[in-house]
Amino acid sequence: MVGPRPERVENVELYTKELPQFAYRMQVKSGLTGYAQLYGKYNTSAYDKLRLDLIYIENRNLFLDLKLIILTLKILFIPGSTQGFSEEAVRPMKVEPGKRRVS
C-alpha cells in the first residue's frame, strides 16, 4: 500500500533517460501512497517527486509505513487538508478565430 506510485512505461523510459536515479525507484514495489503523494503537490517536478520517493526508499520501515497510512487517511477524511486549484488559478481557454474548441 505504501511506496512510489507506478508510472506508465513511456514515462519510465523518459524519466530514466533524464534522471538515471529513477532506475533505483523501480526496484521497490509501487504503492498507493507515499512521500511524493503526501509531501509533494500537484505541480511538483518529476525530479522533486523522485527525491521524495528516494527518501522513502532509503528510510522505509513498518513504523514509517504506518505513519504514512495515517497521514493519508487524515487527508482523505479531513476537509481542507488537500490542496486543489483555486478559482483564480483556473482560466478559460482562449480559442483563436477559425479554430474549434475541443470538448
Residue 8: per-residue pLDDT: 86
Residue 95 near residue 101 (C-beta atoms within 8 A):
yes
Q: Residue 20: inside a domain, yes or no?
A: yes
The residue-averaged pLDDT of 72-99 equals: 62
Q: What is the mean pLDDT of the chain?
A: 80
Number of domains composing the chain: 1
Q: Is this model's pTM higher than 0.95 or not?
A: no
Asked if the structure places residue 46 within a domain, the reply is yes
Q: How confident is the model at residue 37 (pLDDT cuts 50, 70, 90)?
A: confident
Q: Give the range of the structural domain holding residue 23, as residue numbers without chain letter.
A: 9-77
Residue 95 domain-assigned (yes or no): no
Residue 90 lies in a domain: no
- Inside any domain, residue 49: yes
**pLDDT bucket at 101, cuts 50 / 70 / 90:** very low
82: in domain: no
Quick one: what percent of the chain has pLDDT higher than 70?
A: 76
Q: Is 59 among the domain residues?
A: yes
